[in-house]
C-alpha cells in the first residue's frame, strides 16, 4: 500500500472520527436527538450498501452490460455490509430512546409486545438480516457459474422475506401502531435507487460506453417505481379515512418536515423524471452524475422525513453528522486495497 493511499485512508478515518465525535457531543446534551440522528445515518447508508448487493444479485440472474459498468463501485460497497453489524450497535443501545414500545408504553397490544415487538426480538431480527446480507456480500463475488446464480436467487428470496419486518422495525415502529403493507417494497426500491445513484457518481467513466443509457433508464424506472408505490400508499390511507394512519402524515405536515418532503419529491421523483426522460441526459455521464447526486440528497431528506418528526428538528443536525461519519468510514473500508485481494474472483461464466 503506497504512502498516498495510507494518507487517504488516514484522512477518511480521521474525518469519520471527527464527525462521529460531533454526534457523541450532541448525545451528551440531547441523547434522544443524537440517537435519532444516528438511526437516520445508519438507515441511509444501509440503503446504499444493501442496495449494492441487490444490484449484484439481480445482475447475476439477468446479465446485461449495465451490471458490469457499475460493478467497480457496487461490489466494494456491498463488501462493507459486515460493518453494519458494528454501526447498528448504537441503535441497540439507544433502543429505549428511539422506540416507545421498548419502554413498555401502551402503544401496541400486550400480545404484540410479548410475541413480536420487544427488544430481544428486535435485535434478533436485525442480526438475522445483517448476518444474511453479510454472508451474501462476501460469498457472491467468490462464486461463479451456476453456483453464483443459485446463491443470487436464494439471496433475493431471503431479501424479500426480511425487508418487510426490517422496514417496520427500524423505521415504522418508531410511531406504533402505524404500519404499511407496502413499506417493505418501498424500502427495497429505495435501496436500489441509493446504490445505483452512488454507482453513477463513483463508477469510472468510459468514453462511448453504451451501458450509460441503460443505467439512466434503470434510474428512471426505479424512481418512477418508488413514486408509484409511495403515492398509492398515501392515497389508500388518506381516502380510507383511517385516523391512526392519517395522523402519521399529519404529524409531518409542518415545518421543517414539509420542506424535507418537497425536497425529497423534487430530487428523487420530479427532477429525475423530467431529466431522464430526455435521451441526451440518459446517455451523458456528466448529466447522470448530477442527477444521481441530487437523488442522494433527496434520499437523505426522505429518510429524515420518515424518522425525525417524533424527535423534533433537533435530530437533523446529528443526522447530518452521522451520515457524513458513517459515509467516510464506509469509504475507507470500501477502498482498502487488501479488502478482497486474497479471494479468487471468478468470472460470471465460470
pLDDT tens digit string along 23-49? 999 999 999 999 999 999 999 999 999
Quote the pLDDT of residue 113: 62
- Across residues 52-63, what is the average pLDDT? 95
Domain segments of the chain as ranges: 8-202+210-334
Quote the pLDDT of residue 341: 38
- What gap in Å lies between CA 108 and CA 177, rounded to an integer? 6
pLDDT-based confidence at 103, cuts 50/70/90?
confident
Quote the pLDDT of residue 250: 82
Q: How many CB atoms are located within 10 Å of the residue 212 CB?
A: 22
- pLDDT greater than 80 at residue 338: no
Quote the pLDDT of residue 349: 46
Q: How many angstroms separate the Cα of 97 from the Cα of each of 30, 36, 94, 124, 291?
A: 11, 8, 5, 19, 36
Quote the pLDDT of residue 211: 82
Quote the pLDDT of residue 111: 65
- What gap in Å lies between CA 190 and CA 46, rounded to an integer? 11
Q: How many CB atoms are located within 10 Å of the residue 96 CB?
A: 14
- Across residues 323-338, what is the average pLDDT? 87
- Across residues 247-252, what is the average pLDDT? 83
What is the sign of the dihedral through the CA atoms of 257, 36, 98 and 32? negative
- pLDDT greater than 70 at residue 228: yes
| Nearest C-alpha neighbor of 167 from the set 181, 182, 184 | 184
pTM (predicted TM-score)? 0.93
Which of these ranges, 6-10, 55-59, 279-283, 320-324, has the smallest mean pLDDT? 6-10
Which of these ranges, 142-146, 155-159, 265-269, 298-302, has the smallest mean pLDDT? 142-146
Give buried/exposed letters for 40-55 (b at 16+ CB in 10 A, else e): bbbbbbbbbbbbbbbb
Quote the pLDDT of residue 146: 92
- What gap in Å lies between CA 325 and CA 150, rounded to an integer? 36
Which percentage of the chain shows pLDDT scores above 90? Answer: 69
pLDDT tens digit string along 277-288? 999 998 888 899
Quote the pLDDT of residue 112: 64
- Across residues 229-257, what is the average pLDDT? 82
pLDDT tens digit string along 112-140? 666 788 899 999 999 999 999 999 999 99
- pLDDT greater than 70 at residue 342: no
- Across residues 210-228, what is the average pLDDT? 92
SS (H, E, C) 275-287: HHCCHHHHCCHHH
Amino acid at each position: 500500500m503506497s504512502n498516498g493511499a495510507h494518507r487517504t485512508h488516514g484522512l477518511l478515518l480521521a474525518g469519520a472520527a471527527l464527525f462521529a465525535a460531533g454526534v457523541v457531543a450532541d448525545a451528551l446534551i440531547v441523547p434522544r436527538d443524537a440517537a435519532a440522528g444516528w438511526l437516520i445515518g445508519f438507515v441511509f447508508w444501509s440503503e446504499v450498501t444493501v442496495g449494492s448487493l441487490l444490484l449484484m444479485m439481480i445482475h447475476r440472474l439477468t446479465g446485461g452490460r449495465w451490471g458490469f459498468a457499475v460493478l467497480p463501485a457496487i461490489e466494494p460497497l456491498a463488501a462493507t455490509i459486515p460493518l453494519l453489524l458494528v454501526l447498528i450497535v448504537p441503535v441497540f443501545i439507544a433502543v429505549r430512546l428511539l422506540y416507545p414500545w421498548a419502554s413498555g408504553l401502551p402503544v401496541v397490544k400486550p400480545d404484540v409486545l410479548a410475541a413480536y415487538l420487544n427488544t430481544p426480538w428486535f435485535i434478533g431480527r436485525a442480526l438475522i438480516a445483517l448476518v444474511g446480507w453479510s454472508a451474501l456480500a462476501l460469498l457472491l463475488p467468490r462464486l461463479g457459474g451456476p453456483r453464483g446464480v443459485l446463491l443470487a436467487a436464494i439471496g433475493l428470496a431471503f431479501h424479500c422475506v426480511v425487508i418487510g419486518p426490517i422496514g417496520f422495525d427500524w423505521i415504522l415502529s418508531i410511531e406504533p401502531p402505524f404500519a404499511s403493507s407496502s413499506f417493505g417494497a418501498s424500502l427495497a426500491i429505495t435501496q436500489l435507487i441509493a446504490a445505483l445513484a452512488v454507482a453513477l457518481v463513483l463508477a469510472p467513466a468510459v468514453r462511448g460506453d453504451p451501458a450509460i443509457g441503460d443505467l439512466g433508464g434503470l434510474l428512471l424506472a426505479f424512481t418512477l417505481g418508488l413514486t408509484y408505490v409511495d403515492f398509492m400508499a398515501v392515497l389508500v390511507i388518506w381516502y380510507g379515512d383511517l385516523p391512526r394512519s392519517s395522523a402519521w402524515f399529519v404529524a409531518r405536515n409542518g415545518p421543517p418536515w414539509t420542506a424535507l418532503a418537497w425536497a425529497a419529491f423534487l430530487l428523487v421523483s420530479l427532477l429525475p423524471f423530467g431529466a431522464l426522460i430526455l435521451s441526451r441526459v440518459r446517455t451523458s455521464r456528466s448529466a447522470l452524475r448530477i442527477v444521481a447526486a441530487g437523488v442522494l440528497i433527496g434520499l437523505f431528506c426522505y429518510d429524515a422525513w420518515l424518522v425525525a418528526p417524533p424527535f423534533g428538528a433537533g435530530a437533523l443536525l446529528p443526522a447530518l453528522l452521522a451520515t457524513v461519519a458513517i459515509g467516510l468510514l464506509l469509504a475507507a473500508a470500501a477502498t482498502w486495497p487488501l479488502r478482497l485481494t486474497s479471494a479468487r474472483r471468478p468470472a460470471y461464466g465460470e
